[in-house]
Chains A and B, each alone.
Chain A
Amino acid sequence: MRMDTVIMGGGLSGLTCGIALAKRGQRVAIVASGQSTLLFNGGSMELLGSIDGKAVTAPLEAIATLPQNHPYRKIGDDRIAALADEAKQLLADAGINMEGNAAANHWRITPIGVAKPAWLTLSDHLRIDDLEKLPAKRLALMAIRGYLDHPNSMLAQGLRDLGFDVDVIEFTTDEISSLRRSPTEMRATSLAKRLISDHALQRIADQINELAGDADMALLPSVLGQNNEETVKTLQSMVKVPLRLVATLPPSVAGSRMQASLRHYFMMLGGTYLMGDTAVSGEMEGDKLLKVSTAKLADMPLRADNFVMATGSFISRGLKADYRRVYEPVLDLDVDADSDREQWTQFGVLDQQAYMSYGVATDERLRCLKNGKPVTNLHAIGSILSGHDAIKAGDGTGVSLLTALAVAKDILANK
């Protein structure tokens, strides 16, 4: 099967790149081994959250101070602002409406009530632009009875520490309490499947309207709108006070929504999405990759002019490690990693972990290196790239979006 571009990996970066290429008329196939880490995302994108443990307020300015091997620096400091705007527009085109701008971070709230710097946050999720000017004084935190996965007291305390007055109000509805029969299924994504009909939403609205009383804003765990934002909008229209969602523990409804919206958009543009398949090997000719074999297409490999590696980091198996080495399992590309295993990790879980910034080695155009030389038609994007620690720096989703768009441009420019 012949494509213009084959993308290995169907998460945020792979889909973004695929959409950008399909929009320009390319025939694109994405090989996606299972659902992606977007399902762990709480509804925000980060461009750059912190440097050396200090929160970043102006990410565009701060990017210029990053080391040269950071993916943003390879893209070029002067291109970041435009690419960030483009990413925001691409998300909106896919039906993912987010607010925020690249010049100044806002604050998102984690499921345990910690404020973290963010670039974009879903319009229906709680967002604080300025910690000195809170968007509301008195919050009604609507706590779903029996939803054990949601640490309401920690969340409430975190919000109080930020200066809010918080009332924690427990509630339930028939649809919600039906899930309590199956304690393992009382999670955000299961709730979302039962809270779709106007009837189910009205019952929640009735509870909020009755119990949230004179609060300035009601907060609800993000358990609505797995497929689109309409469900949330419907509920917002039924509730008298402003209503915002707060992130839950994974798998997240907001993340599922973003993944589904991007995938749907990609397919609408004519893209081929091979769900549940995995790239297993490739065949090189000189400095080019000719074709890639997948587990399911077996002896009918995918051929293409260009290939993109978007298989993610260790958690997505884009990178693997055994007792001897860190490696890239599909093509055995060059990897930036310490050869001494002792250096990979630090003792404390929360310490800076060296392995977090390991990844495939690329040249200045983000083309993958193999035996020290670039593979001329193979780029890498997203979490598989070396040179950044997504957890410590808060730049994971930004790197995914921006490298995906930069590489799509490179592919289109060098046809």
Chain B
Amino acid sequence: MQICNLSENNFEQCTKCSICTTVCPVAAVTTDYPGPKQAGPDGERYRLKDPAYYDKMLKLCLNCKRCEVACPSGVHIADIIQKARMQASAGHRAKLRDTVLANTDLVGTMANLVAPIANFTVGLKPTKLVMDSVMAIDKHRTFPAYSRQKFTTWYKRNAAKQQDAFANHVSYFHGCYVNFNFPKLGQDLVKLMNAVGYGVHLLDKEQCCGVALIANGLYKQAKRQAKTNAASIRKSVDIDHRTVLTTSSSCTFNLRDEYPAVLDVDTTDVRDNIMLATRFIYRLVDEREIKLVFKQDYKRRMAYHTACHMQRMGWQLYSIELLRMIPGLDLQLLEQDCCGISGTYGFKKENYENSQAIGSILFKHIADAQVEAVTTDCETCKWQIEMSTGLPVENPISVLADALDVEATRAANGLK
């Protein structure tokens, strides 16, 4: 007797309850977008019949995954939409603008060489206007500043030698943002891990995780880079026995879930060994493997913003619980709302207005919280919130490193 007859098409799990439509940030601000139910499971039925039923408005999807989080029936709504976009774009070349936005590592490498000039130039009004009119990158946007020294350069010069001396070891997938724009976050992670007795190592070969490539339709390149990263991660996990830590929620989600789901690059064998540093550290504290000691005089009031991909992974509680361990930190939890930037989405001229409209709910909550800074695990949320609220935004790892009493922590963990 037939016991189970599940369709291999995940969209068949949809019961048409429409709950996903209540949380879609895009449909809330524009009627151009048909909404997750129509764009995902409903549309898929037609697209299977004939790809011509593809609706180009699907490119308005942020891929924030809030629909998947809300779905009571386990439908991978956003994955269905991403795959449909991918299939529809086969054979089309990406726009120059999208290629530039998506190649965070290539552009980063070039920009690092001339960081002061690049930062100065892209900040100039005439440059912004040219980018706006020629490239369709919205003039209101401030490009994240490029660092003069890459994280990897800093690491090789200042940190690499000391790492082998530790008793325990992890690898670090730093991502483009840490490498090109904000090495301090990587330095904070090294500081934190070293203080509790863990050496931090780079992967043999790390390329951009490709989250922006996927969003901009550069799938072949994304897949190539995914394969390189998967091989490096496998070496770290299987041969060096080092868990791979990350500090960006979107990179993490991409490496763990989008590689197999969207790019067909299987990382399921090492998935459990790729994780946000906050989860790794929380576990060590929870299992009493390590101790964290914080500065007596540390005092701040911050708000925690759950990035959409963080919520999709379900890991915000690790960052929140770690932050709650800092005695001097008055932590306010914000309702989960989308900030509207979604990586490169909000940089595009055609999306700017929607992007800010989506974020407005969050910005109001931040203003109401009356905090001196915001903390979140996503770097693009950081850009958006900094630009839109004027408040500084820090990764929880940086907050922890800042509040940490390094000497006392080293002593508590038996390090000299």
Contact = CB atoms under 8 A, between A and B. Distances in A.
A and B associate in one complex: yes
A313 B28 CA distance: 30
Interface stretch (A152-160, A294-302, A365-373): A294-302
Contacts of B336: 275
B158 interface: no
A296 B21 contact: no
Interface string B3-33: 1100000000001011101110001110111
B329 interface: no
Interface stretch (A56-64, A135-143, A181-189): A181-189
Contacts of A276: 68-70, 311-312, 314
Contact of B21 (A29, A178, A251, A267): A251
Given A296-B313, A316-B72, A250 B18 contact: yes
Given A181-B31, A322-B4, A34 B317 contact: no
B317 A35 contact: no
B2 interface: yes
Interface residues of B, number: 45
B386 to A, nearest CB: 25
Interface string B309-328: 00111110100110000000
A277 B69 CA distance: 8
A277 B3 contact: no
A190 B19 CA distance: 11
Interface in B20-76: 21-23, 27-29, 31-35, 37-38, 42, 68-74
B31 A256 contact: no
B21 A324 contact: no
B314 A297 contact: yes
B34 A185 contact: yes
B142 to A, nearest CB: 28
Contacts of B272: 298-299
Nearest to A278: B74
Given A251-B17, A300-B283, A324 B3 contact: yes
Interface string A226-255: 100000000000000000000000110000
B364 to A, nearest CB: 11
Interface in A22-46: 29, 33-36, 39-40
List the 4 shortest-distance A-B pairs measured between CB atoms, nearest first. Answer: A296-B314, A276-B69, A34-B72, A181-B31
9 contacts: A29-B317, A34-B69, A35-B19, A182-B35, A190-B21, A274-B317, A276-B68, A276-B70, A323-B1
Interface of A: 1-2, 29, 33-36, 39-40, 178-179, 181-182, 184-185, 187, 189-190, 193, 226, 250-251, 256, 264, 267, 272, 274-277, 294-300, 315-317, 322-324
